[in-house]
């Protein structure tokens, strides 16, 4: 099950990737997108539960909110 399915989507390789508000899948390492405020808690939960420790959630000021090292 994917948390925040409007933000993450599984690609053909079986990994979940972040996607833009337009639905474009961002598969490049370090890809970023703005998360709508109502989805922030779900994205933070996804970062906390990510088995690959690869989801980072930053505040607009650049402060790390969730993810490895937070």
Is residue 18 a part of any domain in this protein? yes
What's residue 54's pLDDT? 85
Is residue 26 a part of any domain in this protein? yes
Model confidence band, residue 2 (pLDDT cutoffs 50, 70, 90): low
Residue with tokens 């409007």: 6
Cα(8)–Cα(53) distance, integer angstroms? 15
Number of domains in the chain: 1
What's residue 3's pLDDT? 73
Residue 58, number of CB atoms within 10 A of its CB: 14
What's residue 30's pLDDT? 86
Backbone angles phi and psi of 39, in degrees to 5: -100, 0
What's residue 24's pLDDT? 92
Range of the domain at 45: 8-66
Is residue 3 a part of any domain in this protein? no
Name the residue among 63, 24, 20, 66 with its Cα closest to residue 45. Answer: 66
pLDDT, tens digit, 9 for 90 and up, residues 34-59: 888 899 999 888 888 888 888 888 88
pLDDT, tens digit, 9 for 90 and up, residues 3-14: 788 898 888 988
Gyration radius of the chain over CA positions: 11
């Amino acid at each position: 099950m994917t948390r925040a399915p409007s933000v993450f989507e599984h690609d053909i390789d079986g990994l979940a990737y972040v996607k833009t508000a337009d639905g474009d899948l961002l598969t490049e390492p370090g890809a970023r997108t703005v998360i709508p405020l109502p989805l922030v808690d779900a994205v933070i939960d996804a970062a906390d539960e990510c088995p690959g420790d690869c989801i980072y959630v930053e505040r607009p000021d650049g402060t790390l909110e969730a993810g490895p090292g937070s």
